[in-house]
Amino acid sequence: MAERRFGITLGDPCGIGPEITLKALHVRKEYQNQALLFGTLSLLKHYNEKMGYGFTFNRIETIDQFKDGTINVYDPYPVEVKDIQVGVVTELGGKIAFESVRSAIEFALRKDISSVVTAPLNKEALHLAGFPYAGHTEIFGAFTKGERYAMLLWSEELKVIHVSTHISLRKACDACTKQRVLDVIHLANETLKKAGYANPRIAVAGLNPHAGENGIFGTEEIEQISPAIAVAKEEGIHVDGPIPPDTVFLKAKQGAWDIVVAMYHDQGHIPLKMLSFESGVNITVGLDVIRTSVDHGTAFDIAGKMIASEKSLLEAIEIGKKL
């Protein structure tokens, strides 16, 4: 049974996470007997009534209490609906979001669930609550195991994996070391093989304009990135680069490669979000817990208005099951 069960963390309760989770379960009814939700039960009941879904909820403490025919919920920090300030950054929202993620990780490490799908949390709220993590990727990195991990953004049109993510641009340049670039090439290759690609075609973006132009605009390509690519090629990996970042994403979208290794957060996020904002999925790869996520934020501006789209969450669930 555990192999078909997966967890969904509701994210920040003040955002759209609870809403899109219930919408996803309403659209794909087969998930109702597979999903274990982590978050505020009172809020789920509130949205259930507001949307008229008629779900029955079953609060559990252990996986043995999981009951088919209901929406199963683990509520790590129970509060009343009136305590939740929808659409507002709050310490309570950060606390609930963090405890929900940590609980889901514990269930996954015990093999009670096969993967974790995360709805969005708010980094400011997380920090207000005293949890100094940059986001989901770093929380999973802290509480699970893996020699190396990375953020991978997945959509039908484009797939991107990152050498660095939530650090300053100045620090991101220093993070582009030969070993880190090689590690991320390996993670890209391993993940796509798990997803059914027999021989993944990987492109590596340059860090500098024109990929450094042979050292004129920077030497990172010569000193760090190219040596990593050379090692990967010797290992039999199908990898090309470094390729100028102003053209590599377009060529990948046109089918030249299956995935692009991006050097820093915005280099990879901007093209993917332009192409697939509603359907993109965020995956943390390289850890002993499979984690996929929506690739959008908490959307406090529309929280509680019942207009948020569940499309990205459904994609995240599907890819999590595939991996």
Q: Are residues 188 and 142 in the same domain?
A: no
Nearest Cα to Cα of residue 284 among 166, 130, 132: 166
* pLDDT tens over the chain, length 323 residues: 455 899 999 999 999 999 999 999 999 999 999 999 999 999 999 999 999 999 999 999 999 999 999 999 999 999 999 999 999 999 999 999 999 999 999 999 999 999 999 999 999 999 999 999 988 989 998 999 888 999 999 999 999 999 999 899 999 999 999 999 999 999 999 999 988 999 999 999 999 999 988 999 999 999 999 999 999 999 999 999 999 999 999 999 999 999 999 999 999 999 999 998 777 889 999 999 999 998 788 999 999 999 999 998 999 999 888 88
| Cα 253 to Cα 71, 160, 165, 203, 270, distances in angstroms | 38, 11, 22, 12, 14
Both 261 and 317 in one domain: the answer is no
Same domain (yes/no): 236, 160: yes
Task: Domain count for the chain, please give it.
Answer: 2
What's 314's domain CATH number? Answer: 3.40.718.10
Same domain, 131 and 172: no
